[in-house]
């Protein structure tokens, strides 16, 4: 009797267990099983589960030969599902993926999100306790309500953000992956990238799969799904988005892990140097900026400084904000630093910018069509 064929969830589960136990023999067996199922023409269906598995595997230290084999086969599986069920892509990205005439430059998109003083205070309070854990763990016990406050804070920072679908439409207009620098802590940005199978890299927190074809994301204060181990300092991205667990166990040393978020909004901002230096580098190298909701006047002084200091090579800046005054204020500020910079600042929201960029690309699109006809 032929053995009953293995089902996809079982195949995924085996790898998950191997990762959890750091059992590389089981992991290797899991890859052999995936390969044999792949070769026998198994139809895979759960792209999200494979993507989660990939993300989980990325935050582990896997022996390089196993990683290479695993990432290759998993990418193939995800691509095969991607091609057969396009519908799983977010509508905004799917639609714009078809656009033939895309922008060529390496854009930097700066996205700023409002935050209130209670949230800033809660982030600071969380970090005081976290620092006590890290530097003084034997003497320090947290107050019970700290966990409750932390849980409230994470939920509060992670409210659904409608801008994110428009942001996805915006990035799909660019041929080459660029950079996103953001003060927002919310997880939606990562979720949307993962759902649309757009590869991305975050310094220290998330590796990329591809050698070149990925977006750089610099979350200036971290994300509500970024975590740090209080014992060994290991940082990672929690990609099981449905999980409500805010305190976990480190996969390297079994130490306790906590949300890794910092206040970047007040005068006394605390920054992660790798993220900030990376953001500065990308901003200062780029010739095209899109500033979405840049901070007004004296708000968020450290973030405003970052933008001013990195206005070095930028030639063209799109400013998106519902406030005319803020828009003019940034225009004047940038023109003082770089008198030749071109500022296009009549956008009150992201979708009006998306429409403008799409319309701009229309004449060229016709040229491209004619060109291909001549080619025939």
Which residues contact Zn ion (rule: CB under 5 A)?
229, 231-232, 234, 250, 252-253, 255
Render 147-159 in DSSP notation, one character per residue.
HHHHHHHHHHHT-
Measured from the CB atom, the residue of 73 and 246 that comes closer to Zn ion is 246
- Distant-in-sequence, close-in-space partners of 29: CB < 8 Å, separation ≥ 6: 14, 18
The token duo for 334 is 């940038």
CA dist 66 and 131 (Å) reads 36
CB of 141: closest distance to Zn ion in angstroms?
A: 20
Measured from the CB atom, the residue of 66 and 253 that comes closer to Zn ion is 253
CB of 370: closest distance to Zn ion in angstroms?
A: 59
Measured from the CB atom, the residue of 117 and 136 that comes closer to Zn ion is 136
CB of 231: closest distance to Zn ion in angstroms?
A: 5
Residue in 127, 38, 120, 134 with CA at minimum distance from that of residue 78: 38
Task: Quickly count: other Cβ atoms within 10 Å of residue 56's Cβ.
Answer: 19
The token duo for 291 is 């500033």
CB of 120: closest distance to Zn ion in angstroms?
A: 28
Are 33 and 40 spatial neighbours (Cβ–Cβ below 8 Å)?
Answer: no
Burial class (CB in 10 A: 0-12, 13-18, 19+), 187: buried
Are 185 and 213 spatial neighbours (Cβ–Cβ below 8 Å)?
Answer: no
Measured from the CB atom, the residue of 193 and 234 that comes closer to Zn ion is 234
Measured from the CB atom, the residue of 255 and 278 that comes closer to Zn ion is 255
CB of 272: closest distance to Zn ion in angstroms?
A: 17
Measured from the CB atom, the residue of 44 and 260 that comes closer to Zn ion is 260
The token duo for 347 is 């956008």
CB of 256: closest distance to Zn ion in angstroms?
A: 8
Q: What is each CA distance from 113 to 184, 192, 221, 241, 295, in whole angstroms?
A: 5, 17, 12, 21, 9
CB of 58: closest distance to Zn ion in angstroms?
A: 16
Measured from the CB atom, the residue of 102 and 252 that comes closer to Zn ion is 252
């Amino acid at each position: 009797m032929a053995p009953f064929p293995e089902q996809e969830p079982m195949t995924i589960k085996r790898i998950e267990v191997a990762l959890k136990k750091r059992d590389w023999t089981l992991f290797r067996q899991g890859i052999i099983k995936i390969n044999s199922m792949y070769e026998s023409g198994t139809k895979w269906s759960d792209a999200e589960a494979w993507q989660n598995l990939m993300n989980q595997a990325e935050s582990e230290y896997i022996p390089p030969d196993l990683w290479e084999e695993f990432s290759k086969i998993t990418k193939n599986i995800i691509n095969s599902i991607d091609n057969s069920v396009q519908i799983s892509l977010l509508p905004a990205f799917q639609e714009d993926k078809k656009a033939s005439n895309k922008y060529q430059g390496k854009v930097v998109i700066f996205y700023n999100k409002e935050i209130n003083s209670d949230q800033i205070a809660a982030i600071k309070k969380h970090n005081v306790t976290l620092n006590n854990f890290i530097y003084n763990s034997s003497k320090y016990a947290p107050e019970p309500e700290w966990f409750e406050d932390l849980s409230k804070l994470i939920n509060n920072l992670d409210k659904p953000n409608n801008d994110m679908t428009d942001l996805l439409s915006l990035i799909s207009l660019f041929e080459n992956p660029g950079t996103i620098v953001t003060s927002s802590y919310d997880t939606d940005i990562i979720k949307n990238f993962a759902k649309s199978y757009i590869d991305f890299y975050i310094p220290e927190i998330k590796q990329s799969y591809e050698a070149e074809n990925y977006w750089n994301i610099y979350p200036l204060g971290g994300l509500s799904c970024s975590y740090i181990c209080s014992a060994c300092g290991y940082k990672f991205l929690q990609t099981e988005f449905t999980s409500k667990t805010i305190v976990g166990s480190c996969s390297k040393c079994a130490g306790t892990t906590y949300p890794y978020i910092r206040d970047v909004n007040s005068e006394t901002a605390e920054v992660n140097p790798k993220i900030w230096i990376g953001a500065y580098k990308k901003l200062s190298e780029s010739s095209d900026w899109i500033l979405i909701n840049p901070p007004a006047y004296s708000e968020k002084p450290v973030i405003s400084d970052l933008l001013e200091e990195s206005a070095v090579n930028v030639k063209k800046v799109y400013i998106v904000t519902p406030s005319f005054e803020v828009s003019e204020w940034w225009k004047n500020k940038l023109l003082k630093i770089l008198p030749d910079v071109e500022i296009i600042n009549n956008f009150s929201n992201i979708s009006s910018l998306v429409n403008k960029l799409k319309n701009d690309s229309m004449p060229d699109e016709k040229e491209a069509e004619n060109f291909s006809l001549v080619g025939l």
